[in-house]
Amino acid sequence: MSGTLRTALARQTGPATRALRDPLVAGLVGLCLAAAAALLVAPPAPYLVNALGQLAAFAILAVSLDLVWGYLGILSLGHGLFFAIGGYVCAMHLLAHGAAVTGVLPDFVQFMGWKSLPAYWAGLDHAAYAFLLALAVAGLVAFLFGLASFRSRVNGVYFSIISQALVYVAMLLMYRNDTGLGGNNGMTGFPLLFGWPMGSPGVVTGLAVATLMALAAVLAGARLLVGSAVGRRMLACRDDETRLRTLGYSTTRLKLGIWCLSAMIAALAGILYVPQVGIINPRVLAPDLSIEIAVWVAIGGLGRLGGAVIGAVLVNGLKFWLSAAMPEAWPFILSGLVLLVVLVLPNGLLDLAGLRPTWLRAAR
Amino acid sequence: MTQLTRRGVLGTAAFLAAPALIRPAFAADTVKLGCLFSSSGTMANLEGRLNHVVRMAADEINGRGGVNGRQIEVVTSDPASDWPLYAQVGRQMLQQEKVAALFGCWTSVSRKSVLPVVEQNDGLLFYPLHFEGDENSKNVVYVNSPPASSVLPAVDYLMGPDGVGAKRFFMIGSDYVWPRTINKQLKGYWTGKGIPETAWREEYVPFGFSNFQTLVNQVRSFASQPGGQPIVVLTVVGSSIPDFLREFANQGISATDVPILGLDMVEADLEGLDTGKLVGHLNCWAYLQAAKGERNRKFLGDWASYVKAKNVPFSADTVIDPMVSAYDSVQLWALAAAKAGSFAVPEVRKAFAGLSFDDPSGYTLTMTGADNYVSRGVFIGSVNEKRGFDVLWQSPDAPKPVPFSPYG
Amino acid sequence: MADPGRRAILALWSLALACLALPATAAPFDRAALAAALCGDGAAQVRGAEGLVQAGGALPGDDLAFAGRILGALAERRLSCTAEGAVLLDRPGAPEGRDAVTDAVRPAAEARAPVLGLRQRAAVETARGMIGLLTGPDPAARAAGLAVLERRIATVPEAVFDRARDAETDPGLKSTIAGLAQAAALSSADPARRVAAIGAVAASPSGTARARLAALKGDPAYATDPAFRAAVDAGLARVGRAVAIGDALAVVYNGLSFASILFMAAAGLAIIFGLMGVINLAQGEFIMLGAYATYGVQEALRRFAPGLLDLYLVAAIPVAFGAVALVGIVVEALILRHLYRRPLMSLLATWAVSLFLVNLIRVTVGTQNLQFAMPAYVSGGVPLYADFVVTWNRLFAIGFAVVTLALTLLILRRTPLGLDIRAVTQNRDMAACLGLPTRRVDRLAFGLGSGLAGLAGVALCPIYSVNPGMGSGFIIDSFMVVVLGGVGSLAGTLVAALGVGGANVLLEPISGAVAAKVIVLVGIILFLQRRPEGLFAFRRRR
């Protein structure tokens, strides 16, 4: 790892000491809270509320990837896996809850010819248990995969490729009907959320508000983390792992811890995403989607939590809008945007902000 | 720095505030119909043409003076083959555009994704594809056939003396609900006829699977075992269909040795294949382009001139079943709305009972009101040298649809 | 033994049947009756065609030729049935044609052109095969007819084979016919002929032969006649052994062919990744471009040199290699050159390139599968041993992979460029110190790697459907192969491709296609986590 990153480190270590005075993150957290309040006071059309909630869920996912990629130098091309774990467990909860209240089994269960929900669904109708289970499963999968990888020092592009293969395997498995979670069709038709009918304006607004608040909390928490002593060690590990290890730090433990945390945040994003979109299916496990998460982060600006949020919101907002307004042009715009960022703005769109003072200085 | 960032965020918010996803609609004395067909992504080549068929049908009705004195306005969108986006767009169509009915979806998963949306908003979705059945929502009109009323007659034909007297069955499908449901029902059907379990085999492949060498080897060894005439019931979808057919022909198996009943096979799947060695393989739909009759001739002519006039980016001389089903959907909706004298969904739904429409296939489509299914005819097509299908057999009348299969 | 009276009734019956089907044995062949039967319903068509086969041993040549014409027309939908009788058309749907019997020109515009059902098609195929065997102008045509009859040997009377054998002039074909005639006598009344037939059946082993012999175990003679029993058992053992060998050969062949596809998809990547550490996510799209270049060559030949059309796959080799190599060099020069110090960014950049290429092709050419003419050397196959069929398109891909491997090794081992590439791969800084233009080597190597992807595209044309999305399926498999083999080692890539291909093919019948893929991938992931450097790591400095 090399020059640019080292420069980035030099720039980063300064602000890192002034942890919560990061104006970008503070601004975004404020914006999230303000948007949440605005939704509560004067909600716009339900589908706009819903879209905003989905964007916030994507932003949480992007932040989770930025934590490991931007601050540890580990590019995971398999983060869709943890997102999907959160999503699937959430969907299982919604279906189990619905079945408990209405007494009607989900249609894929009927299709499989089962008379009741399988044993491992037990307790999933309790929201708190399902929530903890989602985080625990994501954390456990991340722990096992991370332990095996980090211990044998699988690094850089190798880690990326192997994590991509992992998410691909998971996709193949979930597409299999015999896996028992709905196969290709996945899970849909969630009737209730905490007893309220899904899709009613109150539930839609509530979900969007909750997601915005979660985004604010994740952002603030992640900022605290990267500003702490652990955060400095993360940057050191990113820039020169061997040296850090020689100095006596256990980089494996550090990486493993942050990696699991990141996976759990991604699962949180999945938990919040699924009730808003109303369906989960193996497509979220497609390797393409996982690469796209990295694209959001890179476009917004790697290694600055706010950048991940901006990238995720910008790319997905544009996608929502342009895939209808200019369906032919959207892929070209996206690929152009990526190339532009990669070639001209190595730190993402946030570089545009960095450029301005230079011009001003020149003008002066 | 912060200022510019905020501007970025505000800019994004502005994108959202714009009526996203849907091209805006204008006139006031019209009634709107919404389309949920992708024109980009993996489904584009198939779904894309249905947008145009719906427009064509609407133009035809408007030419007759519209419905209930109002002109139809078709609102299209592009869910980009992204399943959650179908739900999102559907929600917007119903809430924002106040469409009177939705026409859309090809894959089962996209229908399942839209289903809660139409149920929550009490909308009406016309679904033009044959599918796995076992579903009956009051908010969905299932315009095409469930397996019990299309696949079973075709399999019956193959088992009968006019077909090949099929005794043994090799089922190959893509691994998802539609093939699995069909195969489950077939097995139930055969069990009911006293056919032993040893007479069939069932294999599933992942989506987009293309390496069929080993499977075709297995078909050959299955075929060489004693016990009577084998057939292949093929329910793979998408690019797996031509790849399977190619390997099948290359290993020297002809339709007279082991016929394939390709349940999702349409003309588009034969593009790029030398069908000389595939002649005789079968498919089964509620409409085939080779259907006889004046109505079909007129429909083919209408489509060809529509493609030419509107510069539609699809073949002017290929018409597949879902296109006709989408056309039928609009006509059925218009008939029901006219009969009800209203566009309100509950009124329109009530008017379904006793509805009938003479569609291009030559059959008369009917709805009973007992369920939201439509009676359609059944065609069995036979692959010819020109990458098309000849009509080999067709049902004497339109069988009554059976939404919930009695066979499992 | 049947009593004389019963025998007479039987004879009468068969005569009546023959007359019904085709009054040919006694009276002269009734052409109009055949034409009418073929224009009748499905059952009549079957009766007509089967009657022809039953009578075939005795019919004069010109009647056979007549029957061949009308059956051919029926199979090709050039037979039109009017109220006045059957009309033969020049092409399907022609407004007029010649009467099948009288040869007079007659209109046929609104007439019915029967579509053959499967049972009818089988009967017609058999009849045409018989006519081909008896009247074919050259040994090839007669052998083709024989091949059709062989498939439905149970429905063909011995007289047909006898006549064909007696008339045959080609000694090879003559003995084949004799063998078949012998095998046809499996249910003969003469025990000696039966035993000989068992031997003849066992001589050409296949799953079908095994089933035919196994059925004899239920024959009363099996229990009573020890000679018969011994012959059946010996025949079964022989056939069983041969079928097992054939199946094993098929597994090896399937594994080889899948491995060759994997290898070709991965070979270019091995060079690019090994040399530059660039994860080229656009490699699949380069394969797709190679296939589209092949299509371009085909269309160009179709327009400018239709006589050479069959050679388009060969002609496409340099074109696809050159075109895709050029694309690769442009991508390298415009984009990747700036990203060598940031491998993860080059990954995103190549992803963007792949997105761009897919959509460019989608918008400019369309989403449909491309239409390729399939010359004889890549279509069909030949049964080699027992049930083992060598399909030409797969053999083409295997041969292609072998040639690609040889050429790549030649370039890497025997040319100055190869020397440079190896030097830079092993120690970039030292190579630069020694004055090697490493940037130029990078570019050429990237071009070479892309060109190899283009070649893979050529080889895939006869195997898979060609459309804009075809490349996306290869990327994970080929990365797994490269990493498993050990980065920078072409031999490792080859071994990994063989291993992965073989494992997939072996597991597929046991676990199903999906699970096979999952098992193999999980195995690779676990292996790589224990041994990240892959199978054949060779030390290098970074």
Is the pLDDT at A165 greater than 60? The verdict is yes
- Residue at A293: amino acid letter: I
- In degrees and rounded to multiples of 5, residue B170 shows phi and psi of -115, 110
Which is more confidently placed, C285 or B403? C285
- The DSSP-derived string for B358-399 is E-TTSSEEE--SSSSB-B---EEEEE-TTSSEEEEEE-SS-P
Q: Average the pLDDT over B235-251 and give the result.
A: 89
Under a CB-based contact definition with an 8 Å cutoff, are residues A250 and A65 in contact? no
Please report the pLDDT score of residue A323 as a whole number: 65
Query: What is the rounded average pLDDT of the residues C277-285?
Result: 89
List C-alpha distances in Å: C337 to B2, C113, C278, C345: 33, 65, 10, 12
Q: Is the pTM of this model over 0.90?
A: no
Q: Please state, in angstroms and as integers, the Cα–Cα distance from residue B204 to each residue in A172, A178, B201, B275, C491, following that order.
A: 12, 11, 10, 25, 34
C531 burial level (CB within 10 Å; 0-12, 13-18, 19+):
middle
Closest C-alpha to B281, from B314, B329, B244, B228: B244
Instruction: Flag the least confident range among A54-63, C394-403, C527-536.
Output: C527-536
Is A274 within 8 Å of chain B by CB? no
CB contact under 8 A, B16 and A279: no
Three-state SS for C418?
helix
For residue range B132-155, list pLDDT tens digits in order.
888 888 999 999 988 887 888 888
Nearest to C255 by CA among B214, A44, B243: B214
How would you classify the pairing of strands B71-75 and A279-280?
unpaired
pLDDT of residue C322: 96
- Bridging pattern class, strands C85-88 and B200-205: unpaired
Confidence of residue B15 (pLDDT cuts 50, 70, 90): very low
B164 contacts on C by Cβ (under 8 Å): 118-119, 122
Q: B392 and C115 in contact by Cβ < 8 A? A: yes
Percentage of chain B surpassing pLDDT 90? 46
Sign of the dihedral through C-alpha A350, A354, A355, A360: positive
Q: Which residue has the tokens 């007359």?
A: C19
Contacts of residue B290, Cβ cutoff 8 Å, sequence gap at least 6: B381, B388, B389, B390, B391
The pLDDT value recorded for residue C266 is 92
**Listed residue (B84, B34, B40, B22) closest to A324, CA to CA:** B22
Q: What is the mean pLDDT of chain C?
A: 85
C514: nearest CA partner in chain A: A172
Residues 55-74, chain C, touching B (beta carbon < 8 A): none
Residue C203 to residues C189, C206, C233: CA-CA distances in angstroms? 21, 9, 14
* pLDDT tens digits, C326-352: 999 999 999 988 888 787 888 889 999
**What residues does B394 pair with on adjacent strands?**
B379
Beta-carbon separation of A24 and B180 below 8 A: no
Task: Return residues 117-136 of B near A (CB < 8 Å).
Answer: 117, 120-121, 134-135
Distance from CA of C334 to the nearest CA of A (A): 9
Predicted confidence at residue A51, as pLDDT, reads: 87
Strands of C96-99's sheet in order across: C79-82, C85-88, C96-99, C105-107
Give the pLDDT confidence score for residue C294 in this predicted structure: 95
Chain C residues touching residue B242 (CB < 8 angstroms): 369, 465
Interface probe for B, chosen from A54, A320, A356 (most Cβ of B below 10 Å), is A320
Nearest Cα of chain C lies from the Cα of B20 at a distance, in angstroms, of 23
Distance CA C122, CA B254 (A): 10
DSSP secondary structure of A110-169: HHTT-SS--GGGTTTTSHHHHHHHHHHHHHHHHHHHHHHHHHTT--HHHHHHHHHHHHHH
Handedness of CA B388, B394, B397, B400 (dihedral sign): negative
Q: Give the CB-side neighbour count of residue C515, counting CA atoms within 13 A.
A: 12
- Tokens representing C111 are 């007439």
Shortest Cα distance, chain C CAs vs residue B342, angstroms: 41
Question: Which residues, other chains included, contact C526 with Cβ-Cβ below 8 Å and sequence gap of 6+?
Answer: A148
User: Is B2 within 8 Å of A27 when comparing Cβ atoms?
Assistant: yes
For helices B83-95 and A251-277, angle between their N-to-C axes, nearest 10 degrees: 40
CA A260 – CA A149 distance, rounded (Å) = 13
**How many B×C Cβ pairs under 8 Å?**
145
Residue B14 pLDDT greater than 80, yes or no: no
CB-closest option in B88, B95, B120 to A45: B95
* Region class of B65: left (phi > 0), else alpha (psi between -120 and 50), else beta: left
User: Mind listing the pLDDT tens digit for each residue in C87-139?
Assistant: 888 888 788 888 888 888 888 777 788 888 888 888 999 999 999 988 888 88
Query: CB burial class (10 A; 0-12, 13-18, 19+) of residue C134?
Result: buried
Contacts of B116 (CB under 8 A, 6+ apart): A188, A189, A190, A198, A199, A278, B87
Chain A residue with Cα closest to B205: A176
Nearest to C18 by CA among C39, C6, C36, C33: C33
Q: Write the CB contacts of A333 (distance below 8 Å, at least 6 apart in sequence).
A: A318, A322, A326
Check residue B294 and give its pLDDT: 92
Q: Which residue of A has its CA nearest to B208?
A: A172
Which of A21, A25, A48 to mutate to probe the B interface, most B CBs <10 Å?
A48
Alpha carbon distance C260, A262 (integer Å): 39
Neighboring chain B residues of A328 at a CB cutoff of 8 Å: 40
Report pLDDT for A88: 95
pLDDT one-digit tens code per residue, A221-239: 999 999 898 999 999 988 8
B239 and C CB contact within 8 Å:
yes
The alpha-carbon gap from A333 to the nearest alpha carbon of chain B, in Å, equals 15
Assess contact for C285 and C467: CB atoms under 8 A. no
Under 8 Å CB pairs connecting chains A and C tally to 113
In tens, the pLDDT along A80-90 reads 999 999 999 99
Residue C3 pLDDT exceeds 60: no
Q: What is the residue whose two structure tokens read 């063989």? A: C498
Mean of all residue pLDDT scores within chain A = 85
Asked if B202 has any chain A CB less than 8 Å from its own CB, the reply is no
Whole-number Å distance between alpha carbons of B44 and B84? 16
Cβ-based neighbours of C476, under 8 Å, separated by 6 or more: A164, A165, A168, A287, C521
Residue C439, phi then psi, degrees to nearest 5: -65, -40
Domain ranges of chain C: 4-122, 136-224, 263-470
Whether the per-residue pLDDT at A356 is higher than 60: the answer is: no
Percentage of the residues of chain C whose pLDDT score is greater than 90: 29
Which residues share a beta bridge with B205?
Answer: B174
- Nearest 5°: phi and psi at A271? -60, -40
Among B19-28, C113-122, C400-409, where is mean pLDDT lowest? B19-28
Q: Alpha-carbon distance C316 to C305, whole Å?
A: 14
In this predicted structure, what is the pLDDT of residue C2? 43
pLDDT of residue C539: 52
* Residues of chain C in Cβ contact (below 8 Å) with chain A: 277, 279, 281, 335, 338-339, 341-349, 351-353, 355-356, 358-359, 363, 472, 475-476, 479-480, 483, 514-515, 517-518, 521-522, 524-526, 528-532
Separation of first and last alpha carbons in chain B: 64
Average pLDDT over residues A51-58: 93
Spatial distance between the Cα atoms of C473 and B238, rounded to a whole number of angstroms: 14
| Contact (CB, 8 A) for A93 and A248 | no
- Give yes or no for C469 touching B (CB within 8 A): yes
Cα B61 to chain centroid distance, Å, stands at 23
Confidence of residue B408 (pLDDT cuts 50, 70, 90): low
Interface contact flag, C380 B249, Cβ < 8 Å: yes
Please name the amino acid found at residue C188.
S
Residue A295 is nearest to which of C277, C348, C532, comparing CB atoms? C348
The string of pLDDT tens digits covering residues C357-375 is 998 998 888 777 788 888 8
Winning range, highest mean pLDDT, from B304-318, C136-150, C290-304: C290-304
Residue B20 has pLDDT above 60, yes or no: no
Name residue C311's amino acid: L
Confidence (pLDDT) at B176 = 81
**pLDDT at position C436:** 86
**Higher-confidence residue: A116 or A358?**
A116
Residue the block writes with tokens 């060498």: B213
Distance to chain C for B161, nearest Cα, Å: 9
User: CA–CA distance from C482 to each of C38, C225, C260, C477, C487 (Å)?
Assistant: 60, 62, 14, 9, 6
Q: Which two tokens stand for residue A247?
A: 């100095």
pLDDT band at B23 (very low <50, low <70, confident <90, very high): very low
Round to whole Å and give the CA distance between A149 and A144. Answer: 9
pLDDT tens for residues A240-268? 888 888 888 888 999 999 999 999 999 99
Of C464, C513, C514, the CB nearest to B243: C464
**Of A58-67, C110-119, C440-449, C521-530, which gets the smallest average pLDDT?**
C110-119
B78 contacts in A (CB within 8 Å)? 323-324, 327
Residue B189 has pLDDT above 80, yes or no: yes
Say if the Cβ atoms of C513 and B203 lie within 8 Å: yes
**pLDDT score of B28:** 56
DSSP at A193: E
Contact B5 A354 (CB under 8 A): no
Mean of pLDDT over chain B: 86
List the one residue out of B373, B402, B408, B377 whose CA is nearest residue B182: B408
Structure tokens at A155: 């690094």
Three-class DSSP category at B119: helix
Residue C127 half-sphere exposure, CB side, CA atoms within 13 Å? 32
Q: Is the pLDDT of residue B90 over 80?
A: yes
Name beta bridge partners: B383: B389
Q: Tell me which DSSP letter residue C338 carries.
A: G
Per-residue pLDDT, B237: 84
Sheet strands (E) in C43-153: 79-82, 85-88, 96-99, 105-107
Cα end-to-end span (Å), chain C? 92
A87 touches chain B (CB under 8 A): no
Does the beta-carbon distance from A314 to B85 stay under 8 Å? no
Which residues in chain B are closer than 8 Å to C151, comparing Cβ atoms?
257
Distances (CA, A) of C76 to C45, C115, C144: 15, 9, 18
Query: Which position has the higher pLDDT, B188 or C540?
Result: B188
In which band, very low, low, confident or very high, does the pLDDT at A327 lie, cut at 50, 70 and 90? low
CA separation, residue C223 to residues C212, C218, C228 (Å): 17, 8, 9
Chain C partners within 8 Å of B225 (Cβ): 207, 211
Q: How far apart are CA C182 and CA C184, in angstroms?
A: 5
